[in-house]
Chain A
Amino acid sequence: MAGFGSFLEVLISGLLAGVLYSLVALGYVLIYKASGVFNYSQGAMVLLAGLALVRALGFFESQGIPYAAALVLALLFAAAVMALTAWIIERFILGPLVNQNELTLFMSTIGAAFILEGVAQMAFGSEVYPLRMFPKDAWILGEAYFPGGILINKLDIWGGVIAAVLVAAIALFFQRTKTGRALRAVADDHLAAQSVGIPISWIWFVVWFAAGLVALAAASVWGTKLGVQFSITFLALKALPVLIIGGFTSVPGAIAGGLIVGAGEKLAEIYLGALIGGGIEYWFAYVLALSVLMVRPQGLFGERLIERI
């Protein structure tokens, strides 16, 4: 242990890594907030968005289109793919399941995850595709104060910026637009919202499309970090503790949860992992989440559960 400098470096890299988890968790929050569906297929959506993006980028570049234009085209293509996905999921899976209980809806999204994983890999290939949308090199800060300075990855900063923009956009969307208000009504009660004339299928399409765009943002950052590959779907499992620490229904909660999990995980791996054996970041976030839930059963920022007969 090199003292305070290394502690700070671990803390900062953990916090920034946590923001990247938040990017994935945001997608869950969006769908849960708007439709009361716990969407297991968010990881598969990240995979689909990432594969569509990286393959389209490769295709446009091979056609001799300059990188910047190709990137824009590829982003548009991936967004279109996500829109199509949102429409299909709404039309064929969730639409017929309106008013079913939470568990059935959850299981149907696991089914959807299988379909998306299969389709994505069949359509776009199943290898590891490198993506270089963001710079991956590191800054070294504060060399004057600490020996060796503090390494900060530029990619993580980009992730943070994207997350901040997304959160601001989502907050504005939910609070200030008519569709946003309708979304919150649908989340509260499908039937009641339908009966006052809110077009539920349109709302669900909008929210799944928005989650698709969040998945695309997550895919662009994670794809740059790890390369676009199948294992990106496991991010879904990494994002779950983030989600429950923050609370299923809270957008700021997803960010706060990400920061807590990211920092906790990295610090635990370094300071606790040395004592009880490596690899504890595999489960540490979950145990952390469990202990948070024991104190606040609805997560840190979740809406209070009011129960009545």
Chain B
Amino acid sequence: MFYREAGQFKTSYAADMAIFPIRQDRIAMLLLLAFAFAGVPLLAAFHVPPFNSEYLLRAIILPFLILSLAAIGVNVLIGYCGQVSLGSGAFMAIGAYSAYKFNTGIPGLWLPPLPTLASILLGGLMASIAGIVFGIPSLRIKGLYLSVATLAAQFFFDWLFLRVKWFTNYAPSGSVSAPELSFFGLTVASPVEKYLLALTFVCVFALGAKNLARGNLGRQWMAIRDMDIAAELIGIRPLAAKLSAFAVSSFIIGVAGALWAFVYLGSWEPLAFNIDRSLQLLFMVIIGGLGTILGSFLGAAFILLLPIALSQLPAAVGLKISTATITHLEFIIFGSLICFLLIKEPLGFARLWQIGKEKLRLWPFPY
């Protein structure tokens, strides 16, 4: 009834190829962005529930945004290019620690302390370089062998940041604290400011990733994903396609890692980026939907919110269970839901969304 494109004629190729070809989608997207950028800060400023609580912004929305960004990065590699990597956590760590080093200055290389934005982007660049190096084996190693091989990156960098004290500026405890965040003279300190910062990064990178995936490069990635030999035969260079996917993916993940450390955690140690983080990101893209940007957001929301909801649930219902039992129950329910979702919809939430939209076009009529 309300959601159909009758009467919307496309008169140019550009209109046909638009990210949101349907007008209702564009309006909904604009409303969502307006709400996210202006609505939420205003509501928070006027203390309207639920946005008056710092908890919501700081502990739920902020990590959701940053992990969505990381999930977009993982999706570029796994969803679009089909190279399964279990080392995403390591690339987040590289982003975080490089950004930290750039931000505090590297006297050995005559580098003065750089501004926050430059540090974060350079952190992404460093992750990108590491991604290319660890992506080289993908030219020879395929499938599950590759995914286990990427664990080498995960464990190597875990060890590196833990044992080589240079990266932590010889902090005795091994954990480092992010310096004050300032962008072009503006200081980012309150939860709302941090939220807006993360939101800006996520929007810019989501748009960029979407456009890359729609363009020449993205089509090369998808050809490699669907069948790499066939892609090679029709003239796609696997070297360029695979390594560019590794580079772009690691760059986004690295930036997300720097944001995770600087904006969300504040002070961190290598444990924040261990194998569990990699698996969490992998879950996000698979549950959300491989090869979709929307899926990265949906998956991140689900994987992040589920444990929070599960840990709140017994208290909310009024059950009194010991914390150990709750932890075990969380494990069981989380695992069961993952399996359930994989069985019911192996293509993820993005696919469900698509089916829902198809249904909505007809609603309320049967056909």
Please determine whether A111 and B330 come into contact, CB atoms closer than 8 angstroms: no
Q: Give the interface segment out of A68-76, A239-247, A264-272.
A: A239-247
Of the candidates A115, A121, A294, A309, the one whose C-beta lies within 8 Å of that of B137 is A294
Complex CA gap A121/B324 in Å reads 9
Minimum Cβ distance to chain B for residue A155 (Å): 26
Q: Which residues of chain A from 68 to 99 have any CB-CB distance to chain B below 8 Å in the complex?
A: 92-93, 96-97
Q: Which residues of A contact B145 (CB under 8 A)?
A: 244, 248, 293, 297-299
| Per-position binary interface string of chain B over residues 323-337, scored 1 when its CB falls under 8 Å from any chain A CB and 0 otherwise | 011001111101111
Complex CA gap A38/B146 in Å reads 13
Complex CA gap A103/B279 in Å reads 13
Majority secondary structure of chain A interface residues (helix, strand, loop or mixed): helix
A118-B329 contact in complex given A113-B335, A293-B140, A294-B140, C-beta closer than 8 Å: yes
A100 at the interface (CB under 8 A from B): yes
Q: Which residues of A contact B337 (CB under 8 A)?
A: 111
Please determine whether B155 and A93 come into contact, CB atoms closer than 8 angstroms: no
Chain A residue, CB-CB nearest to B339: A111
Q: Give the interface segment out of A51-59, A135-143, A279-287.
A: A279-287
B151 at the interface (CB under 8 A from A): yes
Please determine whether B148 and A240 come into contact, CB atoms closer than 8 angstroms: yes
Please determine whether B148 and A307 come into contact, CB atoms closer than 8 angstroms: no
Q: Which residues of B contact A2 (CB under 8 A)?
A: none
A283-B159 contact in complex given A115-B331, A122-B332, A289-B148, C-beta closer than 8 Å: yes
A108 at the interface (CB under 8 A from B): yes
Complex CA gap A126/B156 in Å reads 30
Please determine whether A283 and B152 come into contact, CB atoms closer than 8 angstroms: yes
Q: Which residues of B contact A110 (CB under 8 A)?
A: 279, 283, 338
Q: Which residues of chain A from 33 to 59 have any CB-CB distance to chain B below 8 Å in the complex?
A: 38
Q: Which residues of A contact B332 (CB under 8 A)?
A: 114-115, 118-119, 122
A3 at the interface (CB under 8 A from B): no
A164 at the interface (CB under 8 A from B): no
Please determine whether B329 and A283 come into contact, CB atoms closer than 8 angstroms: no
Please determine whether B163 and A277 come into contact, CB atoms closer than 8 angstroms: yes
Complex CA gap A237/B163 in Å reads 20
Q: Which residues of B contact A101 (CB under 8 A)?
A: 346
Q: Which residues of chain B from 258 to 284 have any CB-CB distance to chain A below 8 Å in the complex?
A: 275, 279, 282-283
Q: Which residues of A contact B148 (CB under 8 A)?
A: 240-241, 243-244, 289
A114-B328 contact in complex given A237-B151, A293-B137, A293-B149, C-beta closer than 8 Å: no
Complex CA gap A279/B338 in Å reads 34
Q: Which residues of B contact A241 (CB under 8 A)?
A: 148, 151
Complex CA gap A97/B340 in Å reads 10
Of the candidates B84, B164, B329, B346, the one whose C-beta lies within 8 Å of that of A122 is B329
Q: How many residues on chain A are close to B (CB under 8 Å)? A: 51
Complex CA gap A115/B331 in Å reads 6
Please determine whether A286 and B286 come into contact, CB atoms closer than 8 angstroms: no
Q: Which residues of B contact A156 (CB under 8 A)?
A: none
Please determine whether A307 and B229 come into contact, CB atoms closer than 8 angstroms: yes
Complex CA gap A289/B336 in Å reads 32
A286-B141 contact in complex given A96-B343, A108-B342, A119-B332, C-beta closer than 8 Å: no
Give the interface size bracket for B toward A. 35 or more
Q: Which residues of A contact B346 (CB under 8 A)?
A: 97, 100-101, 104
Complex CA gap A118/B230 in Å reads 44
A38-B233 contact in complex given A122-B332, A240-B151, A309-B227, C-beta closer than 8 Å: no
Complex CA gap A102/B162 in Å reads 34
Please determine whether B229 and A93 come into contact, CB atoms closer than 8 angstroms: no
Complex CA gap A283/B151 in Å reads 9
A118-B335 contact in complex given A96-B343, A104-B342, A279-B159, C-beta closer than 8 Å: yes
A283-B158 contact in complex given A104-B286, A293-B145, C-beta closer than 8 Å: yes
Minimum Cβ distance to chain B for residue A58 (Å): 19
A305 at the interface (CB under 8 A from B): yes
Please determine whether B342 and A111 come into contact, CB atoms closer than 8 angstroms: yes
Please determine whether A97 and B342 come into contact, CB atoms closer than 8 angstroms: yes
Chain B residue, CB-CB nearest to A93: B339
A278 at the interface (CB under 8 A from B): yes
Please determine whether A248 and B149 come into contact, CB atoms closer than 8 angstroms: no
Q: Which residues of A contact B155 (CB under 8 A)?
A: 282-283, 286
A158 at the interface (CB under 8 A from B): no
Please determine whether B152 and A115 come into contact, CB atoms closer than 8 angstroms: no
A-B contact sample (14 more), CB < 8 A, given A103-B78, A104-B286, A283-B159: A93-B343, A97-B342, A102-B144, A103-B286, A108-B338, A113-B335, A115-B335, A115-B336, A117-B328, A119-B332, A286-B151, A286-B156, A294-B137, A294-B141
| Interchain Cβ contacts under 8 Å between A and B, 17 examples | A92-B339, A97-B343, A107-B282, A107-B286, A111-B338, A114-B331, A115-B335, A115-B339, A118-B332, A119-B332, A126-B328, A237-B151, A243-B148, A277-B164, A294-B137, A294-B141, A297-B145
Please list the residues of chain B having a beta carbon within 8 angstroms of any beta carbon in chain A. Answer: 78, 84, 137, 140-145, 147-149, 151-152, 155-156, 158-159, 162-164, 227, 229-230, 233, 275, 279, 282-283, 286, 290, 324-325, 328-332, 334-339, 342-343, 346
Please list the residues of chain A having a beta carbon within 8 angstroms of any beta carbon in chain B. Answer: 38, 92-93, 96-97, 100-104, 106-108, 110-119, 121-122, 126, 237, 240-241, 243-244, 248, 277-280, 282-283, 286-287, 289-290, 293-294, 297-299, 305, 307-309
A-B pairs with lowest CB-CB distance, top 7: A114-B335, A118-B331, A111-B338, A286-B152, A118-B332, A115-B335, A283-B155
